[in-house]
Amino acid sequence: MEQKLEQLKTILAEITDLGGAVALLGWDQQTYMPPGGAEARGNQLGTLQRLIHERQTSAAMGKLLEELKPHAAALDPDSDDARLVKVVSRDYDIATRVPAEWVVEFAQVTTMAQQAWIEARTKSEFSIFRPHLEKIVELGQRYVSFFPPADHPYDILLDIFEPGMKTADVKAIFDALRPRQVELIKAIAAKPQVDDSFLHQAFDEKKQWDFGVEVITKFGYDWKCGRQDKAPHPFTNGGSRSDVRITTRVNPNFLNSMIFGTMHECGHALYGQGTASKLDRTSLDGGASLAVHESQSRMWENLVGRSLPFWDHFYPRLQETFPSQLGSVPLEKFYKGINKVQPSLIRVEADEATYNLHIMLRLEIEIAMVEGKLAVKDLPEVWNSKMEEYLGVVPPDDARGVLQDIHWSGGMMGYFSTYALGNLISAQLWEVIGRDIPDLTDQIRAGKFEALLGWLREKVHRHGRKFEPQELVQKVTGSKIDPAPYLRYLKEKFGQIYGL
């Protein structure tokens, strides 16, 4: 059987290499590709995705898996080889249901859609993006039709990003979370608001950039295996463990965007750079799920980056960088300012207390589109209505409303709930980390992150895709995804800031 395992790994290495080329072309598309290159890029990506699909669904792949399943069943179920056969079998079962023609069309449509989204967002005109999104929704509905009926059609799209998770599971978690978060937000609203005006002034873009680089270098981002560039919407792209690239955006008049966006993407990148080398060029290389990935980005952005111990260390350096803007702002005022709770328009700049409401809104909209109950043409009106219902604010234009996120242009229907789930996982992990590293607060205050990163590498990163998300969370924390630790975290943090 060792020979057959090697044959499987040879096929997987080729698939992984092709996937790396797709990732690199996708990174270039959002960073340096000229707008006129979209159609050609769509054809290139379509060809590569077709080649990947052919290898994933080949008769040779199917035969090897059938021969290896009995062998894998006799192994330690947590061994790399047993898990590899399990994960590849799952990928094979999914891929064989999806026609190659759909794969090519999806690559072409989403490539053109992303360019249309950039133009639409720049001009704040949803009508530019609308026909592309209509095609994407229709492609998503067709994708669902390739599979046996599920408890809910959205289950099939959610499973792309969260293996094993059901729509009912997410709704149950959100139903438990929503009233408690709304209660917290109302309690905060009854208190005097903190001042964050000092964050809204002119900040030199190059100095912002350099400060962000300094921070994530201390976090442990390996620049030999990565780089940072600008993009309309920040993202992380990992073609392999040794090439994980991040992007950010810089607002010259608001400090939070670059600082916390850079930390967020670095969290993703640290996960990507931390997968065990023995999983290279196999289907186990990568993250357990998007929620687990988000747990890493949200942890570094919020639990580390918005904490008082973090700024005990970094704030003097930031004051040196921007003396006229921050030199007279005390640390406590700065800390409260960056954690100000106020319903806002933009998800990626939302505070921790209101952030999940943005996600719940998007989940409702996605489900309605998949069900065919919401037409794309009505999306801006419904979006604005739900923003008022959930957050009490109404977007003044499409750019700050329905066009603010890039995900739908990439065909990522079923994705958004992973952000909120990632918040919950991050807090679950954080409680365990606090027990395992008792002096963590002192280490962060000293600007030392080696122990934290080492813990994450050992408990989460090195495993790649070996475990499904709920399984991994259970192994590390002792329970499946649970909102309670996150609610405890929010109550303690904002109770102190707002005197609740």
Return the active site residues. Answer: 265
Residues 6+ apart with CB under 8 A from 82: 72, 73, 75, 76
Could you give the CA distance from residue 293 to residue 299 in angstroms, rounded to a whole number?
Answer: 10
Pinpoint the alpha helices (H) of 198-243: 205-219
Q: What is the CA radius of gyration of the chain?
A: 22
Q: Which residue in this structure is represented by tokens 């992380």?
A: 236
DSSP state of 304: I
Q: Output the six-digit token pair for 465.
A: 């895709």
Q: What's phi and psi for 229, nearest 5 deg?
A: -135, 175
Strands 243-248 and 236-240: antiparallel
C-alpha distances (whole Å) from 371 to each of 145, 182, 358 are: 12, 27, 20
Coil, strand, or helix at residue 246? Answer: strand
Q: What is the β-pairing status of strands 243-248 and 228-230?
A: parallel
Question: Which parts of 57-195 fold into alpha helices (H)?
Answer: 59-73, 80-95, 100-123, 126-145, 153-161, 167-189
Contact between 103 and 50 (Cβ < 8 Å): yes
Sheet holding 228-230, edge to edge: 228-230, 243-248, 236-240
Rounded-to-integer distance, Cα 246 and Cα 267, Å = 10
Q: Using CA atoms in the order 37, 38, 43, 47, what is the torsion angle rounded to 10 degrees? A: 100
Residue 228's H or E segment, with its range, is strand 228-230
CA 270 to centroid of chain Cα atoms: 13
Residue 241's SS3 state is coil
Residue 237 main-chain phi, psi, to 5 deg: -130, 120
Cα–Cα distance list, 460 to 21, 25, 143, 418, 447 (Å) = 26, 28, 31, 17, 22
Q: Which residues contact 79 (CB under 8 A, 6 or more apart)?
A: none
Q: Which amino acid is at 220?
A: G
Cα-Cα end-to-end distance for the chain: 62
Question: At which residue do the structure tokens 């990522």 appear?
Answer: 412
Task: Report the candidate in 273, 204, 281 with the shortest Cα–Cα distance to residue 245.
Answer: 273
User: Do residues 170 and 421 make contact, with C-beta atoms less than 8 angstroms apart?
Assistant: yes
Secondary structure letter of residue 194 according to DSSP: P
